[in-house]
Amino acid sequence: MPNNIRIALAQLNLHVGDIKSNLDKHIRAALTARDQFAADVIVFPELSLTGYPPEDLLLRRSFVSESNQALQYLTGEINDIYCLVGHPYSDGQNLYNTCSLIHNGKTIGRYSKQRLPNHGVFDECRYFTPGQSSCIVKIKDIAAGLVICEDLWKLGPVRDAAAQEAQIILSPNASPFEVDKHEQRLSVLHKRANHNNLPIVYVNQVCGQDELVFDGGSMVINRNGDLCKFAGFFNETILPVDIDMDRTPEIKAENINIASTEERTYQALVLGVRDYINKNHFPGAIVGVSGGIDSALTLAIAVDALGKDRVKAILMPSRYTADISNIDAIELARNLGVTCETIPIEPVYNTFLESLAPSFTGRKPDITEENIQARCRAVILMALSNKYGHLVLTTGNRSEIAVGYCTLYGDMAGGFAVLKDIPKTLVYKLANYRNRVHHVIPQRTIERAPTAELAPNQKDEDSLPAYPVLDSILECYLNDGQTIDEIVRQGFQRDVVVKVVNLIHKNEYKRKQAAMGPRINHKSFVRDWRYPVTNGFKG
């Protein structure tokens, strides 16, 4: 009786809603796995035919029907290789998150996800009914248990499959990226494999989908819980793996280098930008550059995502822009090889001030005039976007957006907020990481005190706590859910903590109108943070 199997892990970039494109990708991958790698079975990611997450597309019967037609076509089209395919399945009354094992025109087994995540970015209970039982299928007389994504994170499904004498677990996944998600996955998979004495084949998709980024990281874990094969991050690939069911515990990890946190985060942003722009058919991107670190990092990410010919930098100096800001912005553009156009805002700004002068009579200049400058720049960027069809990438970071240190309809204006989930302190780390790869961001840009340059001698710290302090408070309050008292007990000044918390809630209305951006944090300002704007609770 054969006790070995060659499994192809299909780490694919799938497009939500584009079922035909996804089907074509399944066919090509299956043929490659069969003909080039001589694989016995290919495992696709979760809901691979529809892409994940399809959200309210699942409420349209025609969408589910088209997915079913694609599955039927694939079943009849591919022979001589087992295919484990993810798709929605309706029994006429309920809809299930399902994977089906197909082979030579037949459906060998069908499994419906038992543990539906309904937290953070996940909303599966809105669409699906949980499955009720395990599914064990035979591939070359090897009993394979099927589980889907969240099933791995709970005790029951793998344990039940082991109780039914499964010899291996095959698991399609759609697991979004977070800065420490790989380590979390390894911990969970180690426990499931080791406790149940079962190797696990874990297959994850790799793509950007609106604010979510999926990093891949597909892998094989042996019975001891050790990582023994790895497909890497942020690359579309088919990884063939030979598993001898008798010798799997002896297979050890070899030459598996896991990228650093900074590298993974940077690549997540690159993939998020690339897929958002390409899948929504924008010809390119526009970035307003200022000589500051946020716009510098945003421009570098855009160029790495799209190439220099699809990115344009726009420098919009004002009366308050320092010469070194202009010099550094131009040097940055030159280093990255992008076109940089300079459009001063002074004429437009003066016109606004003249038009508003009668209404402002008797009132001193204040933040109003600062915001007008930011809105002048937004008008210019959006005009260029309209004229050329390019998407404006906003440059604000998580720290600023959290406390409202940004201008609604000003620097917040744009289609995709690249650094929306990146704290300012991480911005510096990512800039330094990018310069280690190839030095493109001027060192002075990194070392200068951050400033919006909307008033004379302005510094961010005139209005905000120092960014290391601010980011630490934000981590405690936003990510960890700590109270003001708990944060103060860690050594922070109460008045500073109260100010930050008040600013967070005061500026909820701004965030509701902000562009989406790549999520790298388990408590991002999109699906993870759902606070009411009209809110009397003060914390």
Q: What is the CATH number of the domain that holds 319?
A: 3.40.50.620
Q: Residue 183 belongs to what H/E stretch?
A: helix 181-196
Annotated catalytic residue within 25, 46, 420, 453: 46
Domain end position, chosen among 212, 235, 258: 258
AA letter at 412: M
46 is catalytic: yes
Q: Within this chain, do residues 247 and 269 fall inside the same structural domain, yes or no?
A: no
Given the residues 25, 83, 99, 113, select the one marked as catalytic: 113
- Told to judge if 476 belongs to the known catalytic residues of this protein, a careful annotator would answer no
- 275 in the same domain as 254: no
Same domain, residue pair 242 and 384? no
Single pTM value for the model:
0.95
How far is residue 455's CA from residue 367's CA, in Å, rounded to a whole number? Answer: 9
Answer yes or no: 376 catalytic.
Answer: no
249 within a domain of the structure (yes/no): yes
* pLDDT score for 481: 92
279, two tokens = 């899948």
464 Cβ partners below 8 Å, 6+ apart? Answer: 399, 403, 405, 470
Do 235 and 191 share a structural domain?
A: yes
Domain shared by 250 and 303, yes or no:
no
Q: Is residue 174 assigned to a domain?
A: yes
Among candidate residues 427, 393, 402, the one with its CA nearest the CA of residue 511: 402
Both 304 and 359 in one domain: the answer is yes
> Which residues have C-beta within 8 Å of that of residue 119, sequence separation ≥ 6?
none
Question: How far is residue 48's CA from residue 65's CA, in Å, rounded to a whole number?
Answer: 15
Which of 207, 241, 258 is the last residue in one of the domains?
A: 258
Report yes or no on 500 lying in a domain.
Answer: no
Beta strands in 160-268 (DSSP E): 168-173, 200-204, 206-209, 212-215, 219-221, 227-230, 237-244
Q: In the numeric block, which tokens belong to residue 326?
A: 């202009």
Say whether both 372 and 415 belong to one domain: yes
Last residue of a domain, one of 203, 227, 258: 258
**Is 26 among the domain residues?**
yes
CA-to-CA distance for 134 and 170, rounded, in angstroms?
A: 12
Is residue 250 located within the same domain as residue 290? no
Q: Kindly state the DSSP code that residue 320 receives in the 8-state scheme.
A: T
Q: How many CB atoms lie within 10 A of CB 417?
A: 26
> Same domain for 271 and 254?
no
Q: Is residue 469 part of a domain?
A: no
Residues in the chain: 539
**Tally of domains within the chain:** 2
User: Does one domain contain both 135 and 121?
Assistant: yes
pLDDT in tens, 135-178: 999 999 899 999 999 999 999 999 999 999 999 999 999 999 99
How many whole angstroms separate alpha carbon 62 and alpha carbon 196?
A: 41
> Whole domain around residue 203: which residue ranges?
4-258
Could you tell me the two tokens for 361?
């009579």
One pLDDT digit (tens) per residue for the chain, 539 residues: 457 899 999 999 999 999 999 999 999 999 999 999 999 999 999 999 999 999 999 999 999 999 999 999 999 999 999 999 999 999 999 999 999 999 999 999 999 999 999 988 999 999 999 999 999 999 998 999 999 999 999 999 999 999 999 999 999 999 999 999 999 999 999 999 999 999 999 999 999 999 999 999 999 999 999 999 999 999 999 999 999 877 655 555 566 888 899 999 999 999 999 999 999 999 999 999 999 999 999 999 999 999 999 999 999 999 999 999 999 999 999 999 999 999 999 999 999 999 999 999 999 999 999 999 999 999 999 999 999 999 999 999 999 999 999 999 999 999 999 999 999 999 999 999 999 999 999 999 999 988 887 888 888 888 899 999 999 999 999 999 999 999 999 999 999 999 999 999 999 999 999 999 999 988 888 888 888 898 888 76
CATH number of the domain enclosing 190: 3.60.110.10
Is 270 in the same domain as 195? Answer: no
| 440: in domain | yes
In a domain, residue 419? The reply is yes
Q: What does the pLDDT read at residue 268?
A: 98
Out of 149, 207, 228, 476, which one is annotated catalytic?
149
Alpha-carbon distance values, 475 to 261, 405, 497 (Å): 17, 17, 12
pLDDT tens-digit map of 333-384: 999 999 999 999 999 999 999 999 999 999 999 999 999 999 999 999 999 9
My answer on whether 225 and 283 are in the same domain is no
Residue 502 lies in a domain: no
| Phi-psi sector, 501: left (phi>0), alpha (psi -120 to 50), beta | alpha
